[in-house]
Amino acid sequence: MEFHRPRALYCLLLGLVVATGGCTSTKQSNTARTATEQLLISNAIDQSLNKIDFTPLAGTAVFVEEKYIDCVDKGYVIGSVRHKLLQAGATLATKPEEAEAVMEVRSGGVGTDVTSAYVGVPGFTTPGMIGIPDIKLATRDSQKAVAKIGIVVYSVTSKRELGEGGVSMARADDTNTYVLGFGPQQSGTLQYEVNRAAPLHPGQQVREIPSQVALSQPKPPAKPDEGTLKLTGGEKDE
């Protein structure tokens, strides 16, 4: 009995497609960048800055110089650095002349990479010019973000560095796995951050942003008591 291998393979693949009823759909972003990409980059930036100890600058007026950083989400990097300084007890100066130290921030690389792999049969064309698409039994789509941030701090008066400075690098990833069209099974540092940050802890109170804008004038500085004269100086008699 004559046995046609291409026809038998075609029937086998067709039966496999019919037997597996899973299907997936990809949603496109309506914004310039997907939410996943933005969260991956911000997650990598957070992890990179979390490796840096800002506490030696406690009580120091610091000016953050941002002209040496040129990367995507530059505003988030600078804002996060300023936030870290405030958490460490430093004060922020608006001008270098008002600061005791200048912190220069630079980026060695802030971006994302995407990889995709699958297990199955690649598409082919039969002798009868019938095109068979890829038969994917399992697919894995992975997106990674890397943030490499460099920092150096120097004294305004001496122009010498305060500490050696250096670079800090971290990576965030998000992986989606599909088996027979069913999924995704999500894993990675991004999913961990989303799952950790989304729910409220028991008893946690949240101060929501008001739905209406209300402003108030700043309080005037306290005036010294009128009719009193205070002097200091001189030597104290023993």
Q: 85 near 64, Cβ under 8 Å?
A: yes
**CATH number of the structural domain spanning residue 45:** 3.40.50
Residue type at 237 in one-letter notation: D
Per the domain annotation, does 4 fall within a domain? no
Q: Of 120, 141, 137, 177, nearest to 19 (Cα)?
A: 137
**Would residue 161 count as lying in a domain?**
yes
Whether 26 is in a domain gets the answer no
Length of the chain: 238
Mapped onto helix, strand or coil, the DSSP state of residue 237 is coil
The answer as to whether 95 is a domain residue is yes
> Of residues 211 and 87, which shows the higher confidence score?
87
Mean pLDDT, to the nearest integer, of 171-175? 91
- Spatial separation of the C-alpha atoms in residues 102 and 81, rounded to whole Å: 13
Residue 2 lies in a domain: no
- Of 155, 143, 97, 134, nearest to 116 (Cα)? 143
Q: Please state which of the ranges 20-29, 64-73, 76-85, 177-186 shows the lowest mean pLDDT.
A: 20-29
% residues pLDDT > 70 (the chain):
76
Mean pLDDT of all residues in 90-107 = 95
Owning domain of residue 119? 32-197
The one-letter amino acid code at 102 reads V
Indicate whether 76 belongs to any domain: yes
pTM summary value: 0.69
- Could you give the CA distance from residue 171 to residue 177 in angstroms, rounded to a whole number? 20
Query: Cβ neighbours of residue 163 under 8 Å, at least 6 residues apart?
Result: 56, 153
Number of compact structural domains in the chain = 1
Edge-to-edge order in the sheet of strand 101-121: 91-92, 61-65, 101-121, 135-155, 166-179, 182-187
223 lies in some domain:
no
**Euclidean distance between the first and final Cα of the chain, in Å?**
123
- C-alpha 6: how far from chain center: 50
Q: What is the pLDDT of residues 8-31, one digit of tens each?
A: 555 555 555 444 444 544 556 678
Residue 226 lies in a domain: no
Q: Distance between CA 81 and CA 74 in Å, rounded? A: 11
Closest CA to 106 of 47, 149, 45: 149
